[in-house]
Amino acid sequence: MSTEQSYPVGEHPSLPPPTSEVGIIGWVRHNLFSSTTNIVITVLTIYLLYVILPPLLNWIIFDAVFSADSRDDCRAIAKAGGHELGACWAFIGKRFEIFVYGFYPVEERWRINLSFFLMLAALLPVLFDHIAYRKQGLWFSLIAPFVIGWLLLGGMGLTPVSTDKFGGFMLTLVIGVTGIVGSLPLGIALALGRQSHMPAMRMVCVAFIEFIRGVPLITLLFVASTMLNYFLPPGTTFDLLLRVLIMVTLFSAAYIAEVIRGGLQALPKGQIEAADSMGLKYWQSMRLIILPQALKISIPGIVNTFIGLYKDTTLVIIIGLFDPLGMGRASLADTKWQGLSTEIYVFVAIFFFVSCFSMARYSLYLEKKLHTGH
Amino acid sequence: MSSQPEASDLHVSDELVIKIKDMHKWYGSFHVLRDVNLDVYRGERIVICGPSGSGKSTLIRCINRLEEHQQGDIIVDNVELTNDLKNIDAIRREVGMCFQHFNLFPHLTVMENCALAPIWVKQVPRKEAEATAMKYLERVKIPEQADKYPGQLSGGQQQRVAIARSLCMNPRIMLFDEPTSALDPEMIKEVLDVMIELAKEGMTMLCVTHEMGFAKTVANRVIFMDGGQIIEENNPHEFFDNPQHDRTKLFLSQILAH
């Protein structure tokens, strides 16, 4: 040994890191001021925030008016307060219920509220595994969709409500959640079918996926709203919303299938060989070995597709359904509130952002939870 | 090495467990296995060696139908390997396999890896399957790792778990496909020790490996393959000291040279 050690070999204790590496000062130095480029970017960012934030906050909060009866009223209140008018949120406040419930009969709206809570209760055991009574909860999740369907549509003791009364956020949730819940199993089946050893099965799946992926969603929605009448026997009525639900589900299933196929292909061949060599049957291998891993790899892509699907629900405006965006545009026709499109669009944007951001965060949580490597 | 038994110490019965007769296999138009004939008796420890691409892995993978042969017969434990899924399942229940890259299931704990097949294939109650798994984990000397995930173990530990996982199905025959080729030198011994223990207990083993020390001490027969054919087979003494075929001599001189 040429160098002298202060401790015998193997007995060097772990020392605390130097103070410049830890704490707030360490963090700031590492992340904000580590190099010239970094310093320039930090300073520029602070300047941009200084320019943008105050007017934005003024418009959204400090100069905004939250209750008024018309746009002129808004202006008057702002003037009385001695500032310029920011956002006139009073408009949204007055329209809030129609944004949420659409044209659903006022006296029946409790059914939507109840459905919403049932949906949350049904999602909990599916999304999180460390909750009490999860097993019973999953049974509830299985029957909840039917209960919710009954609540929303009525019949069997409840006043029937036709689906053309559906609208607003409630419509977004109905289409979005149905699409998500329906397209995942269908997508898994398509992905497995595409990898099947049976040529007929494979061809059907490939044809379906490629056809659906190759056609814009709007086209499919138009087909759903008009063309189906030509194919179906005359006299059959087929609810417009149901057609939309089917089309949206099929559309996103095709994308999900491709995302999952990516996950399936990323698995080493040894996994299925090990399962085979132990005598597991095809469906056992898929359920216990292959899909848990493939789905885990595919989480970012799956959630990405879901977020896309959720936002694409706004396209139903084109075939005459009133989602929040459609509701907002209809509200703009009100002469009392003319010219407040910014408020409407910001409000709808916030709603979509909150929904989609939650999905994104959940996907990160799931990835972290399922990480079993080093 | 004195504790290890000589090949002759181990009992070989005259019960035929694997019979491979005039077997051919093609990958597309590529003829991988050419007229392979092999009889394996209960309790035999057979080491298969040969240059890469000689078909040795393919041969043992045909025995549990990870690869399909196109001509000839393979009979395992009196069950003939055909396209009949029932026969394939029956054979796979009797034959355990360990792979070069372990192929543990990374999303399951060591315990779950071991108990999975008994629970789902043999319908063993979970408690019982876990008790059996623990027994075999103790035998491969890693019971304390039962609740870890494979990604948290060293290569040698993973391969030992893989062996325990196969043993949980209580197989009558074990296939090893280069079980130590992906391991660090320091970890090869711990895996070989487990395999030697297994041999001492009378397990019928077919082992594709380049560990010639293992072949000398454990095998009762060494098979040399090249170009999809069995070129030479003999007991280890004769095989290493007195190889008959020129190709075998060349192979041995190359792998034993350094």
Domain boundary among A61, A91, A121: A91
d(CA A369, CA A130): 11
Spell out which residues of chain B touch residue A273, defining contact as CB-CB under 8 Å: 66, 99, 103
Strands B95-98 and B45-49: unpaired
Query: H-helix or E-strand containing B27?
Result: strand B16-27
Residue A189 inside a domain? The answer is: yes
CB atoms within 10 A of CB A40: 10
Q: What is the pLDDT of residue B10?
A: 65
Which pLDDT value is given to residue A361?
A: 94
Please indicate, yes or no, whether residues A303 and A332 belong to a single structural domain of this protein. yes
Residues 6+ apart with CB under 8 A from B84: none
Structure tokens at B28: 């597309």
Are A218 and A269 members of one domain?
A: yes
pLDDT at position B117, please? 95
Q: Report, as an integer, the average pLDDT of B208-233.
A: 93
Residue A149 in any domain: the answer is: no
> Binning pLDDT at 50, 70 and 90, where does residue A95 land?
confident
A212 within some domain: yes
pLDDT tops 50 at residue A196: yes
Residues A214 and A344 in one domain: yes
Share of chain B above pLDDT 70, in %: 95
pLDDT above 80: residue A130 = yes
Could you tell me how many CB contacts below 8 A there are between chain A and chain B? 66
Same domain as A314, residue A214: yes
Distance CA A325, CA A187 (A): 28
pLDDT in tens, A222-278: 888 887 777 777 766 678 888 899 999 999 999 999 999 999 999 999 999 999 999
To the nearest whole angstrom, how far is the Cα of A278 from the nearest Cα of chain B? 6
Give me the residues paired with residue B96 across strands.
Answer: B174
**Domain residues for A248?**
95-104+161-370
| Contact residues for A218 (Cβ-Cβ < 8 A; gap 6+) | A315, A318
Out of B64, B105, B151, closest to residue A289 by CB? B105
Are A178 and A48 contained in the same domain?
no
Tokens of A371: 């990480």
User: Across residues A68-75, what is the average pLDDT?
Assistant: 86
Task: Say if the Cβ atoms of B165 and A278 lie within 8 Å.
Answer: yes
Name every chain B residue with its beta carbon within 8 A of the beta carbon of A292: 107
Confidence bin at A79 (pLDDT 50/70/90): confident
The values of phi and psi at residue B98, to 5°, are -120, 140
Tell me what pLDDT residue A300 has: 93
Cβ-based interface (< 8 Å): residues of B facing A: 64-66, 89, 92-93, 95-97, 99, 101, 103-107, 116-117, 120-121, 149, 151-152, 165-166, 169
Instruction: For residue B22, give the nearest of B35, B5, B4 by alpha carbon.
Output: B35
Share above pLDDT 90 across residues of chain B, in percent, rounded to a whole number? 81
Q: What is the mean pLDDT of residues A13-26?
A: 78
Nearest CA in chain A to B87: A279
Q: Tell if the CB–CB gap between A289 and B66 is shorter than 8 Å.
A: no
Lowest mean per-residue pLDDT among A3-7, A209-213, B24-28: A3-7
- B229, B34 in Cβ contact below 8 A? yes
Nearest C-alpha of chain A: how many angstroms from B42? 20
Domain annotation covers residue A362: yes
Same domain, A78 and A224: no
B144-182, pLDDT tens digit by residue?
A: 999 999 999 999 999 999 999 999 999 999 999 999 999
Same domain, A243 and A170: yes
- From the number of C-beta atoms within 10 Å of its C-beta (0-12, 13-18, 19+), residue B9 rates as exposed
* pLDDT for residue A70: 86
Question: Which pLDDT score is estimated for B9?
Answer: 58
**Contact (Cβ atoms closer than 8 angstroms) between residue A321 and residue A244:** yes
Cβ contacts of B165 on chain A, cutoff 8 Å: 278
Binned at pLDDT 50, 70 and 90, residue B2 comes out as very low
**Are A70 and A100 within one domain?**
no
Residue A41: inside a domain: yes
Residue A2 has what pLDDT? 56
The count of domains in chain A is 2
Q: Are A208 and A337 within one domain?
A: yes
* Residue B194 pLDDT level (bands cut at 50, 70, 90): very high
According to the model, what pLDDT value does residue B1 have? 40
3-class SS at B52?
coil
- Chain B: give the shortest CA distance to residue A273, in Å: 7
What pLDDT does B3 receive? 46
Average pLDDT, chain B: 91
Calculate the alpha carbon distances from A142 to A92, A132, A148, A190, A238 in Å: 36, 17, 11, 22, 25
User: Which of B103, B117, B152 is closest, CB to CB, to A270?
Assistant: B103
Give me the mean pLDDT over the A43-51 stretch: 95
Is A176 found in the same domain as A80?
A: no
Q: Which residues of B162-195 are buried (b: 16+ CB within 10 A; e: fewer)?
A: bbbbbbbbebebbbbbbbbeebeeebbebbbebb
- Residues recorded for chain B: 258
At which of A31, A58, A91 does a domain end? A91
Q: Over the stretch A337-350, which tens digit does the pLDDT of each residue have?
A: 888 888 899 999 99
CATH code of residue A337: 1.10.3720.10
Nearest to B116 among A288, A293, A374 (CB): A288
Over residues B42-64, mean pLDDT: 93
For the cut 50, the answer to whether the pLDDT of residue A182 exceeds it is yes
Q: Pick from A268, A271, A277: which is nearest to B97 by CB?
A: A277
Q: Which of A288, A370, A373 lies nearest to residue B120, judging by beta carbons?
A: A288
Residue A145 maps to a domain: no
Query: Which residues on B lie below 8 Å from A276 (Cβ)?
Result: 64-66, 92
Query: Do both A251 and A342 map to the same domain?
Result: yes
Please give the DSSP secondary-structure letter assigned to residue B20: E
List phi, psi (to 5°) of B27: -100, 105
Out of A33, A67, A91, pick the residue that ends a domain: A91
Q: Is residue A112 part of a domain?
A: no
Q: Is residue A273 part of a domain?
A: yes
The yes-or-no verdict on residue B125 having pLDDT over 80 is yes
Query: At B31, which helix (H) or strand (E)?
Result: strand B30-41
Provide ipTM, 2 decimals: 0.90
Same domain for A60 and A166, yes or no, is no
> CB–CB of A257/A187 below 8 Å?
yes
**Average pLDDT over every residue of B74-82:** 90
Q: Give contacts of B97 with chain A, Cβ < 8 Å.
A: 274, 277
For the entire predicted model, the pTM comes to 0.85
